Structure 1
């Protein structure tokens, strides 16, 4: 039986190895990672789930779009009375060949949200999920490439994907015009028929398109937004801005007026490059990148919001706890000692709590409150209660699978 804790990158790729994916496939070439798994994604998402998102989630643009490669003009998402989605008109547009797209579907689906959190923790990259519902004999987009890596999970129905090849090495959103490619000028594609349970990986920069044939199709695309060397350099500069006023100083007054004083601008640039070379720190850049990544974590969504608070009353030395593995966390120094940072929380404590906090971060499975090292019983209970309340820990029930 699939449980919320099942949803992970390993589960998504199974039986394909995540380690093999990272070593031999990631950023190298498209690959059909998993196949012949009918019904595999039923616990994750379904036609019915998407219908419920539309009816009760009521996504608003840009979280919802309609697209058809054969339409001469773009179609706006229709709304009716009270600002609600006009489901009847959307249904008619769908019947006429328009794909329904719900962006960031993890904001509406707890199961997809849990999978996203687990994927992010495993990959160290921000991930977003979009749902695509395409009617029979239709296509949402003409040949194009994405500026982020894409993992396609075919949920229901079938869809034919055509992958033509790489057009640009590691393209950035700022360096592409987004225009579709002319099919007749592209090389012969690799045709990949996706069926329910299949998973396809397409690196960024690889031109592709997809269309249905004789039935509706529902798939999820997991957009993996990997930070780049540009992000590392920019973050290193952000760290330098905190200590070097040269990075915060304005450019010369009227610097755009002709004739341009390039000698003056070159002098400024040379000085900034010098500071990056002498004082730029990979550790400082890493810390800022990790801080941003941690803040994306979401501790809710496991269905234990009330149980975790009620569990505070029964917390005892023998109470079994475990860390929510999908949450990235770290220890940081504070003015009063040490802090355990996760999601939008920072639990501060004296330095004597360091050993216990490290124990929690390194724990691979359940542990008891009394197992927390270096603390007396009262401190153990206090630390466990704080992390249970704030969502990093959960109580392990007797019927939980381990």
Structure 2
């Protein structure tokens, strides 16, 4: 399942134009099995039995009472699985974080979303018992959410937006923030999807059957973060920004007017010196180097490398995130932590192999003979970028 499938029948371009960071989107579907290909109860049981042994990857939550980790965590971070299920039976939600790192279908969904938006995504899973149970108190999230109802149903209650597009760390504070009037209440049933921008206050409860829903969370950088990154770049180059504050700046005799003048002068100095490209480049590098490609079947590909011929069919792995860089005499391919350098003459061949969904090796353009084409393809298969069909 791809990100486009999550939004269907709404197109990705339409979603970005009409809803993204603007307003929620509810999609009700007749097909109650729509998200079965992403996650099943058997997947959850396998995860808890064989993989999910550590806190905080596995946690429990109950809106009615705080559950201390000592109730179900032993030896520092090891989960007592029997106790987790006991707490579930008593009304707690089982929270499974970063499930895209364990479940192949969720990993593929996340890669598809990351390819679309050029930013990090994550999948968390919430398993809630029936009977008007609620895992979390009323709150907002600090990142945009796509809620995918997989099993059962959940009643969502929507309120106001006390902070528009809050930053990470700018969490909902019940002691000072008001949720606003309830503006909407609806049920998400299996197969349904709800997108809502960060800052929208909500809570949800399960009706009379257990509920499993996935949150596909968007972890994009903001302009604020880019400004901070750019500012740090200037500060590392210009000592004026690294000076101590004036002596006595925190005392009763501080001169606010003088400090204001100095501050404004530094703001102007920053505006003159700041450069967007280096800060943006650091963000791009951080994103690309942290994205893992899909390597399922890579061992089988290794075994078949010696059998490749010019008529063999290959193609790029799904939703590869990479960057091609023209260096003059060479071309560089940046993908995950690897940098692959090839002669500039191989640029068109490299681009063809990465952009063609499926092709015969003999059809690769820009290289002199089949031997050169096979050499390039074998290297890209070894790097985990191409797979053999």
Note whether the superposition's TM-score is higher than 0.5: yes
2:154 to 156, 159, 183: 159
2:51 to 51, 57, 63: 57
- Residue 70 of structure 1 deviates from its aligned partner by 0.7
2:221 to 224, 227, 234: 227
Asked whether 1:118 is paired with 2:112, we answer yes
Where structure 2 has 5 or more consecutive residues not aligned to the other structure, the ranges are none
Report the more deviating stretch, 289-298 or 108-117. Answer: 289-298
Report the more deviating stretch, 254-263 or 20-29. Answer: 254-263
Question: 1:246 corresponds to which residue?
Answer: 239
Report the more deviating stretch, 332-341 or 28-37. Answer: 332-341
Asked whether 1:188 is paired with 2:179, we answer no
Asked whether 1:36 is paired with 2:30, we answer yes
The answer (yes or no) to whether the contact 2:108–2:294 under 8 Å persists in 1 is no
- Residue 271 of structure 1 deviates from its aligned partner by 6.0
Cα distance, 1:188–1:79 mapped onto 2, change above 3 Å:
closer
Question: 1:376 corresponds to which residue?
Answer: 368
- Residue 88 of structure 1 deviates from its aligned partner by 1.6
Give the Cα–Cα distance (whole angstroms) in 1 for the partners of residues 192 and 82 of structure 2.
31
Give the Cα–Cα distance (whole angstroms) in 2 for the partners of residues 113 and 329 of structure 1.
17
- Residue 181 of structure 1 deviates from its aligned partner by 8.6
1:144 to 123, 139, 145: 139
Cα distance, 1:387–1:216 mapped onto 2, change above 3 Å:
same
Where structure 1 has 5 or more consecutive residues not aligned to the other structure, the ranges are 1-6, 398-402
Give the Cα–Cα distance (whole angstroms) in 2 for the partners of residues 205 and 380 of structure 1.
51
Report the more deviating stretch, 27-36 or 275-284. Answer: 275-284
The answer (yes or no) to whether the contact 2:55–2:73 under 8 Å persists in 1 is no
Asked whether 1:388 is paired with 2:386, we answer no
Q: How does 1:60-209 map to 2 (within 5 A)?
A: 60-71=54-65, 74-76=68-70, 78-79=72-73, 84-137=78-131, 138-176=133-171, 178-179=173-174, 186-209=180-203
The answer (yes or no) to whether the contact 2:28–2:188 under 8 Å persists in 1 is no
2:209 to 210, 215, 234: 215
Matched position secondary structure for 2:352: helix
Cα distance, 1:84–1:73 mapped onto 2, change above 3 Å:
closer
Q: How does 1:179-328 map to 2 (within 5 A)?
A: 179=174, 186-240=180-234, 244-246=237-239, 249=242, 251=244, 258=251, 269=263, 273-274=267-268, 276-301=270-295, 303-328=296-321
The answer (yes or no) to whether the contact 1:107–1:113 under 8 Å persists in 2 is yes
- Residue 75 of structure 1 deviates from its aligned partner by 4.8
Cα distance, 1:266–1:59 mapped onto 2, change above 3 Å:
farther
Give the number of aligned pairs: 386
Report the more deviating stretch, 232-241 or 376-385. Answer: 232-241
Report the more deviating stretch, 90-99 or 316-325. Answer: 316-325
The answer (yes or no) to whether the contact 1:240–1:247 under 8 Å persists in 2 is no
Give the Cα–Cα distance (whole angstroms) in 2 for the partners of residues 359 and 335 of structure 1.
19
Q: CA RMSD in A?
A: 2.8
CA shift digits 1:40-70 (9 cap, x unpaired): 1111101221121111113422222211111
Report the more deviating stretch, 327-336 or 127-136. Answer: 327-336
CA shift digits 1:309-354 (9 cap, x unpaired): 1232122222222222412111125597221011111101222222
Give TM-score scaled by structure 2 length.
Answer: 0.89
Give the Cα–Cα distance (whole angstroms) in 2 for the partners of residues 245 and 59 of structure 1.
48
Cα distance, 1:32–1:83 mapped onto 2, change above 3 Å:
closer
Q: How does 1:336-351 map to 2 (within 5 A)?
A: 337-351=330-344
1:47 to 37, 41, 46: 41
The answer (yes or no) to whether the contact 1:316–1:381 under 8 Å persists in 2 is yes
